[in-house]
A and B are shown apart, each in its own frame.
Chain A
Amino acid sequence: VSSGREFIHEPPARWPDLHRARRPETLAPYESALGRLLARVLAGEPLVALAPGDGGDDGPARIRLQGLSEEDRAVFARLVVPEADERHVPSGGLDLAAIRLPEVVRREPRWTMSAAGLHSYVELTSLDAVVCVRLIAPLMSDLAYVLRLRAGDGAKSAKGRADRLARCRASHDVLGIERAQIDVLLDPDLRADDVVAARMTLITGWSEYPSNLGERAMALLCGRLAQAYYGKARKDGTVEAARVLTTSVTALLTATLGDWPALVEYLGEEQASADATPVETPKTTLPEEPPPQVAERLQVLREWWAMYDARHAAQRAGLEPLDDLVPIRWDYGAPDENGRRRERLARRALAPELRARIEALWGSQVLERYPEALVHEPRPLGIFAELVQPAAAFWDELSLTAWFSCFGPYSRRSLDQLEAFQRNARQDLADLGAPVDASLYRELAATGAEYPFLLEQQVFAAVEISINLNVDEEGQPTIQSSVGEPRERSHPEAFEALRETITRYRRAWLERYLERYLDELWRRELDRAADAYWKRLRGRGRAPTVKQALPDLRSAAHHWFGADHGELARLLGLKGPITASPAPSPRALPSDLDAVRREVAQRLALAVKANEAGRDPEYDLQRLAQEAWTVLIAWQATGVAPPRSAVYGSSFRWMIEQTFDLDLDQGYRLLLDATRHALEIRDHPAAASMVVE
C-alpha cells in the first residue's frame, strides 16, 4: 500500500480508489449502511424528526432518524454514544439545515434557506443523534457550503472562504456528484431568480449519486483524517497522536476508522516513537501537609469564611443586603459620576489586614504570551474569588433567597424551589468531600409553612404600575399613571427564623467539612495540573516548552503559588523547562492604576463620535479604557506595548465602531495615545513605549 500522502497529492476524485485500496474489510457493512442513509437524504426524503428532550421546549431537542432499519441501526452501533448523568446531558450543535436542504428545496424552492432554518441544538445521547452529528451533518455541511457562502455564513477571511469552498468542491468530486452549479453560484451578478434556479439544479443534482455512495462517503471522511494527519506529520510520515487529535479530529476518527493505530495503519505509516513506546511518567504524590505557600493561602481562606459566616449570622432587617459579599472574578460595573467604581461589599467587608494579605498573595501573574516574567495582577480579589467557589455560591443562594423573599424587591426563587435548584451544587460539594445535609430544606419548608409568602412563586421582575382615574372640575376624565419600585416587603420575623436555620447548618458544615473541603480544593487542582502536564509530555514524547506547558499549570500556580509555575512544577516533581521560575519584572507600574484608567476613559471620551443615536457611551468607554491595564501589564512583561490583537480582539470591533467610528487598529492607537498621556503626566517611563510596534 502506498503512503497515505496520496490523499494530499492526488485530486479528491481519486480518493475513493485510494480508500478502497487501504480500508479494512470490516468497514464494508458500515459503509453500506451509511450509503443507504445518505442516499435517502440526498434524494430529499424527510429523515430527521425532532422532539423536545429532557430540558423541554427550551432545552436541546431529541433526534429520531425515521425509517432506519434495525439491521442498519445494529451496524451503526459501533459508534460511541455519550451517556448522560444527573448533572449533565451531553448535547451540541447540529447543522440540521444542511441535512434538510434536499427535502426543503423541493417544497420551498425560493425560500429554501429560510425554510431550512439555522443550526439546531440537540441531545447527543442517542445513536440516531450521533449518526446525524458525526456522519451525515459533516458531509451535508460541506456540500452546502457554497449556499452558506452567499449568505455570509461561516469563514470571514478570504483564505477561510477559499478553503471551505475547496472542501465543498472536493466533497462533490469524492461523492461523484455534479458540481458545475457551484461555479454558477459564485457569480456575483446573479439575480434572485437565477440563484433559485442554480440552487435547485445543484441540490436536486445531489440525488444523481453513484451506486457506491457509502464507500465514497467514507473515503471523503477518511481523506479529511489524512489531511489532518499530514498537516502535522514529519517528512518521515510520523506524528504523535496528541498533535493531531483535536476534539473535532477525534470525533471524526471514532466515527470512521475507530482509533489512532487504525488510522496510522490505514495511511501506511509507522507509529511515532512517543506513541509506540510511551514515555514513562511518575505518579504524582502530594505532600501530607500543605506546603508553606499553600498553607498561608489556606489560612486566608479560613479567615474569609469566618468573616462570611459572621456577616450572614449577624444579618438583620435594615442592614445592607449581602448580595455582593462574595467576590467575583470580573467586575465591569459602571462607575459613578466621578468616574469611580462603587466599592463592592466584597472588598469593604474585608479587614484591612486581610485585604492586604489577599493583595500580596494573589497580586502577581504570568501572562501566557510572556511566561518568563512575573508581573502585576491588577485584580487579586478576582483571583481569590475563584477559590471561594463552589461553596460560597451554594450558601449565598440560600441566604439571599431568605433575604430577598422577606425584604424584596424580589427573589429569583422561592424557598420551595431551592432543593431542586441546588441539586447540582450539592453534588459538587459532595464530590469535594463536603456534603450538605439535605434536611436543611425540610426545616426551611417548615418555616415556609408558617409564612406562606415564602412559598409563593415570585415574579422575576416585579414592578408596581398604578393608574388613577378621576374626573376634573369640568367633569372631564383624567388619568394618571406611574411605574414605581416594587412594593416593599418587610418580614423580619420570617427572615430571622430562616437565618437561624441556615446559620446553624452553615456552621455545622464549616465546622465539620471546611478543612476537608479546602484540602480537597488545592489537592485536586494540583493533581489535575500534574496529570495534564504529564499527559502533554507523554503525547509529545519530550518535555514541552514553558509556553506549551503553561496552560496546564497557570491556574494552579496563580491560585496557590503566587503565579510561580516553577515552584509549583518543582513541588509536583515535573521535568522540563516549566520547572524554572519566572523572574519578577524589573519594570514598575504606576501605583495608581485606577486613576490611570479613569484618565484614559476621560481622554477617550473626547473622541466619541457625534450623532451617537442617543446611546450613552459611558459603559463602553469604561470597558475600552479598562484595557489600558492590559497594555501596561504587557509592557511590564516586555518593555513594549503589545500588538493590537492582544488587547482589542475582534469582539471589540462593534464597540469601537459605535463609540468612535473607527476600526480596531485606529481604536487601539487611540487607547495607546490616551494611555501615553496619562503616563506622561506621571513622568512614567512606559510613556515612550506606548506606540504600535
Chain B
Amino acid sequence: VSAVEFFERLGAVPDVSWRARGQPDSRFAGARPVPRTPAYEGGSQVRWLDVHGRPLAEEWDWRDSPVRLLTERFYELAPRAQLELALAALEVPGTRADYNEALGYAEQASRLQDPPDFEVLEELLWAHANLVLGDPAACVDRYGNLDRVGDPVIALSRLYLLEGFLLEAAAVEMLLEQLPEEAVARYYLGDARPQGLLEALRELA
C-alpha cells in the first residue's frame, strides 16, 4: 500500500494560494494518515493518527480525518458558525479529497451569510479550482466519483459571468479543458457561455 498524500493545511497544497482565515484546531496538530486494509468492503483505506500515533477515531469510523471530524457538526450550526468551522477545517491536516469537501462547506456557508460574503467566496472558489485542477483524481468523493470534481471551476466562472466579468469568466472556463471530460458536469455551465457573450458584444458594438 503506497503512502497517503496529505498536507498540513490547505495553504500547503502546491498551486493553491490560500491565506488562512480560520484558527487551526490544536487537537489535530501533527496528525497524519497511514494506509490500512479496509475493515469492510468500501471502507476507508486510510487511518488517521494523532501526533502520538494514536487513532483519531474509532476503528470502524470512516470519517476519521481531522477535516471530516471537524465538519461533522456543520449542519447543526448557524450560518456564521458554519463559515468559521469550515474555514477552520482548511487549517488542519488533510488530503485533497478532505479539502475538496471542506471548501464545498465553506462556499455554501459564505453564500448563506447575511449579507453573503462574496469576497471570501471568490477566494474559496479560486483555491478550490486550483485544488481540483492540481490533481482531479485525488479529489474524488468517498464513492470514487469524478463527475462533480469540476464544479468549483464552473461555480467560479458562473460567479464572474453573473457580474458581467466576461474576460475573467471565459478565462476560468478555459481551465475546464485541463480536467478529464467526465469531471465536468456541462449541464451546469448553462446556455450562456462567456465566450459566446463576448462575441455577441462585439456584434452589438
**Chain A residues close to B by CB (< 8 Å):** 107-108, 110-115, 147, 149-153, 156, 158, 161-162, 165, 185-192, 195, 199, 469, 476-481, 611, 613-614, 654, 658
Contacts and interface: CB of A to CB of B under 8 A. Distances in A.
Contacts of A477: 39, 59-60
Nearest to B194: A152
Interface centre among B43, B59, B162, B193 (most CB of A within 10 A): B162
How large, as a class, is the contact surface on chain B?
Answer: 35 or more
Contacts of A147: 164
Contacts of A185: 164
A188 B202 contact: yes
B77 interface: no
Nearest to A613: B182
A110 B187 contact: no
Contacts of B115: 107-108, 115
A654 B197 contact: no
Contact of B164 (A115, A195, A480, A611): A195
Given A186-B201, A479-B43, A613-B147, A195 B186 contact: no
Interface in B30-44: 39-40, 43
B50 interface: no
B118 A479 contact: no
A108 B121 CA distance: 14
Contacts of A190: 166-167
B193 A152 contact: yes
A195 B163 contact: yes
Interface centre among B59, B163, B192 (most CB of A within 10 A): B163
Contact of A151 (B59, B163, B191, B196): B163
A151 B201 contact: no
A162 B200 CA distance: 10
B3 interface: no
A482 to B, nearest CB: 10
8 contacts: A149-B201, A152-B192, A158-B200, A161-B204, A188-B199, A191-B165, A480-B40, A658-B186
Given A153-B192, A479-B40, A614-B147, A112 B205 contact: no
Given A152-B190, A479-B39, A613-B147, A186 B60 contact: no
A315 B162 CA distance: 56
A552 to B, nearest CB: 34
B72 interface: no
B126 interface: no
A46 to B, nearest CB: 12
B181 A611 contact: yes
A114 B204 contact: no
A479 B160 CA distance: 46
B53 interface: no
A54 B162 CA distance: 31
A676 B173 CA distance: 40
B202 A479 contact: no
Contacts of A162: 204
Contacts of B159: 114
Majority SS at the chain A contact face: mixed
Contacts of A654: 187
Interface of B: 39-40, 43, 59-60, 115-116, 118-119, 147, 159-168, 181-182, 186-187, 190-194, 196-205
Contacts of A481: 40
Contact of A111 (B43, B118, B168): B118
B205 A113 contact: no
Contact of A192 (B160, B202, B204): B160
A199 B166 CA distance: 14
B162 to A, nearest CB: 5
Majority SS at the chain B contact face: helix
A481 B38 CA distance: 13
A189 B181 CA distance: 29
Contacts of B194: 152
Contacts of B181: 611, 613
Contact of A161 (B118, B163, B182, B200): B200
In order of increasing CB-CB distance, the 4 nearest A-B pairs are: A152-B192, A150-B164, A111-B118, A192-B165
Contact of B204 (A112, A165, A191): A165
Interface centre among B115, B119, B165, B168 (most CB of A within 10 A): B165
A186 B203 CA distance: 10
Nearest to B183: A613
Contacts of A111: 116, 118-119, 163
B60 A110 contact: no
Given A111-B116, A199-B164, 19 more contacts: A111-B119, A112-B163, A115-B116, A149-B197, A149-B200, A151-B161, A152-B161, A152-B192, A156-B192, A186-B205, A191-B167, A192-B163, A469-B60, A477-B60, A479-B40, A613-B147, A613-B181, A614-B182, A658-B186
Contacts of B202: 188
Given A186-B205, A477-B39, A152 B197 contact: yes
Nearest to A111: B118
Contacts of A165: 204
Nearest to B202: A188
B170 to A, nearest CB: 10
A658 B188 CA distance: 13
Contacts of A614: 147, 182
Given A115-B118, A476-B39, A192 B60 contact: no
Contacts of A152: 161, 190-194, 196-197
B192 A151 contact: yes
B198 A188 contact: yes
Contacts of A469: 60
B160 A113 contact: no
Interface centre among B164, B190, B203, B205 (most CB of A within 10 A): B164
B47 to A, nearest CB: 12
A479 B167 contact: no
A478 B40 contact: yes
Nearest to A156: B191
A472 B118 CA distance: 51
B184 to A, nearest CB: 8
A147 B191 CA distance: 17
Given A192-B168, A480-B40, A614-B147, A114 B191 contact: no
A156 B200 CA distance: 10
A151 to B, nearest CB: 5
A115 B194 CA distance: 20
B113 to A, nearest CB: 11
Contacts of B192: 151-153, 156
A561 B168 CA distance: 60
